[in-house]
Amino acid sequence: MADISTVDLVQIVFWFLAGCISFYFSIGNARVWTSISIGFFLIFMSQLYVVEKALDAPWTAYTQVEALHYIIGTISIMVMTHGFQEYYIFSRTLELGGSKQAVYLTILGLLIASAVFVFINPEPQYTVLRNIRMIENTTWVFLSLVNLDMVRKIYLQIRDSVIAKGFIAFGIVFIAIFLWKGSELYLQVYNWDADWKLIMQNLGASVPEQFMGRRDFSVLVHDIAGLLSGFTVGGTFIYLVKLLR
């Protein structure tokens, strides 16, 4: 059975909490929340792979499943960003196009197309999985900054409303996520991440023991920001439930 770290465990518990509440939002609330809610729920789905590995689930023997979890993580932030853009337009014009069913079907189509893409191509090796994970982290870092700007603009538009403080909480969430994903991307860019070390060991080589201070600091930032992202996401959705009652 694979180990599961305290950071991973706490993250998964709070992402599960946020995923459940956000899924409830997508069912019982206005259309404008649909993309945002489904995006947060998909993050939980992408993080779930850590638990599946810890439980030695039989399907984790297939690297295609790991690749699919990373792709779901990439889709989650894209869907969420689309949701915040929609909310910003709605806050300015009070007009909203499309339907909830169209959002559900589009996301389902993306997931199916991603699965087909992964399974019709060669089985991903460690280097390919690392590349897919880097794409996920890069997308998260860039779109976290975009979403920070979006929630700032939304807050300015609705700052007199009951729910306005909820968007301040979303801002804190994206700062934590930016640090969490950004620190991991930094480690990957300089080949200081655990995956690269494993690849080198399999090739009979070793990672040079240089810049250990920067590497350790980045790992520390990654772990602390990962914990904060879990706490803040769970706390934000609990706070939103309280505001919307």
Q: Write the pLDDT tens digit of every residue in 191-231.
A: 998 888 888 888 877 777 788 899 999 999 998 998 888 88
CA distance 33 to 244: 12
* Residue 29 confidence (pLDDT): 60
Range among 32-41, 91-100, 182-191 rated most confident:
182-191
- What is residue 202's predicted lDDT score, i.e. its pLDDT? 82
CATH topology for 6-244 is: Rhopdopsin 7-helix transmembrane proteins (1.20.1070)
> String of b and e for 198-221 (b: at least 16 CB within 10 Å)?
ebeeeeeeebeeeeeeebeebbeb
Cα Dmax for the chain: 61
Predicted TM-score (pTM) of the model is: 0.89
Cα-Cα end-to-end distance for the chain: 43
Residue 140 confidence (pLDDT) = 96
Quote helix, strand, coil % in the chain, to nearest 5: 85, 0, 15
pLDDT digits (tens, 9 = 90+) for 56-95: 788 888 899 999 999 999 999 999 999 999 989 988 887 7
Please determine, for residue 1, whether its predicted confidence score (pLDDT) is greater than 60. Answer: no
Q: Spell out the residues 6+ positions from residue 10 whose beta carbon is closer than 8 angstroms to its own.
A: 227, 230, 231
Question: Tell me, what DSSP letter sits at residue 62?
Answer: S
All structural domains of the chain with their residue ranges: 6-244
For the chain, give the percent of residues with pLDDT over 70.
Answer: 96
